[in-house]
Amino acid sequence: MPTKNLPFKTQQPSRKELAKLLVVIVNYRTADLTIDCLHSLQREIDERGDTYVVVVDGASGDDSPQKLSSAIEDNAWSDWAEVRALDTNGGFAYGNNAGFAEVLSGDIASQYVLLLNPDTVAKPRALTELIDFMDAHPSAGIAGSRLENRDGTARFSAFRFASPWSELESNIRLGLVSRLLQKHLINPPVQEQAHRTDWVAGASMIIRNQVFDDIGTMDPTYFLYYEETDFCLRAKRAGWSCHYVPTSRIIHLVGQSSGITGAGRTAKRVPAYWFASRKYYFQKNYGKITALMADSMWLLGYSLWTARRWLSRRPHIDPPKLGRDFIRWTLLN
């Protein structure tokens, strides 16, 4: 008896499997901000159809995972977004590494990974501008967005690598010294055109997947701060360039996710992990002698600034006990 060819359905690849871009958002007790961020991404992701978002919850200890999962289900985002809850709060690098683990294993074939802060709001075409730039510049390993305040004014988003001279300049706060050390300014003037830079802010940073093949993942030794600087430096040493792309515009609600600083907020005491990250960055990448020089320049600059501020009776605007904490966590630790 002849057999009849019966039609059958093949399972279509999911958005996750087809994703060209994987967006990783690390949440820690900022579920409402993360949901607002997802809302800002929705239209562009729907239009592109090749983007997938992984929200990593860093053991928030509150209802963040449930709140985020409910928002994804209620807003019909489940075909392009998911929540991954961790058992440990290992910091920014640790959380991001968990987010793009499937890319490294080959389970997701995306070409790019975008690190995006939860306290951000994406403006139209923010993702597309980064992707188009990377497609057009195959030697670019990393690129960052223009970060903006709520009113659209630009924030510093493209930076130079730190050095002993930059530690002096940033702490002494004297115009003459800044002019003499212009090439060492960590925060050069904001430019309106795309350009090459040393490193970009991890609040919105796209990475070509081949970079991971060459240098590995982010260093989880950093709990928070300096991890993206370290990553960009490692990429540069491996031959990859880093770029600033101002046509990709992201509102950054500074300090909302870390709780340290922010517009209109009183400066809080700098946490010990900031000093630990800074110290580790210098020692790891430049050696103990250069790290000691950087520490000395930091302390010299800050001491001179403090003396000038006291003599001129200027208001104290620095975080509380900054100099004392620097000595405790950097020089005596």
Residue 4, pLDDT score: 45
122 & 248 share domain? yes
Q: How far is CA 158 from the centre of its chain?
A: 12
Task: Tell me how many domains the chain contains.
Answer: 2
35 & 92 share domain? yes
Residue 6, pLDDT score: 43
Residue 170 lies in a domain: no
DSSP for 271-330, please give it. Answer: PHHHHHHHHHHHHHHH-HHHHHHHHHHHHHHHHHHHHHHHHHT----SPTTHHHHHIIII
Residue 10 lies in a domain: no
112 & 83 share domain? yes
How much is the pTM? 0.92
50 & 198 share domain? yes
Q: Identity (one letter) of the amino acid at 235? A: A
Number of Cα atoms under 13 Å in the Cβ half of residue 251: 16
286 & 248 share domain? no
Residue 257, pLDDT score: 59
143 & 60 share domain? yes
Residues in CB range of 263: below 8 A, 6 or more apart: 149, 150, 254, 255
Calpha distance 200→229 (Å, rounded): 7
Residue 117 lies in a domain: yes
Residue 150, pLDDT score: 95
Closest CA to 53 of 64, 63, 44: 44
Residue 203, pLDDT score: 97
User: For the chain, which ranges sit under pLDDT 70?
Assistant: 1-12, 255-266
132 & 278 share domain? no
Residue 181 lies in a domain: no
141 & 285 share domain? no
130 & 232 share domain? yes
Residue 234 lies in a domain: yes
Residue 91 lies in a domain: yes
Residue 59 lies in a domain: yes
| Helix locations, 108-237, DSSP H | 126-136, 164-172, 175-180, 209-215, 227-237
217 & 324 share domain? no
Residue 23 lies in a domain: yes
198 & 326 share domain? no
Residue 33 host element (H or E):
helix 31-48
pLDDT (tens digit per residue) in 197-224: 999 999 999 999 999 999 999 999 999 9
Residue 105, pLDDT score: 80
The CATH number that applies at residue 95 is 3.90.550.60
Angle (CA) 43-137-201 rounded to 5° is 60
Residues spanned by the domain of 247: 15-155+190-252
221 & 89 share domain? yes
